[in-house]
Amino acid sequence: MGNQWFTAPVVLIISAKCSMLLGLIGCLGAWFEKKPLLFIYIITMIIIFAGLLVGVVFVIALNERVSSKV
C-alpha cells in the first residue's frame, strides 16, 4: 500500500494544527505586543507564501508537460 503517514487526511490534519499554532502565535504576539512572537509569525508567513508561489509555478510547469504527453 504505502506509508500511512503521507495520506491526504493526515497531511491536512497536520497542516491544520500548524496553522492553528501559527495563528495563536500571531494573536499572542499582537495581544501582548511581543516583537519576537510577531517576528516569528511574519517570517513564517513569508516562508509559507514563498512556498505557495513555488508550488504554483511547479504545478503550472508540470501541467504543461503532462498535457503535452497525453
What is the per-residue pLDDT across 13-39, written as a single tens digit (0 to 9) for each?
888 999 999 999 999 999 999 999 999
* Residues 39-44, mean pLDDT to the nearest whole number: 96
Measured from the Cβ of residue 41, the count of other Cβ atoms closer than 10 Å reads 19
Model pTM greater than 0.85?
no
Contacts of 22 (CB under 8 A, 6+ apart): 41, 44, 45
Query: For position 37, what pLDDT does the model report?
Result: 94
Q: Where are the domains of the chain?
A: 4-69
Q: Which grid coordinates belong to 66?
A: 503532462
pLDDT per residue as tens digits for the range 44-58? 999 999 999 998 888
Q: Which of 2-6, 9-13, 40-44 has the highest mean pLDDT?
A: 40-44
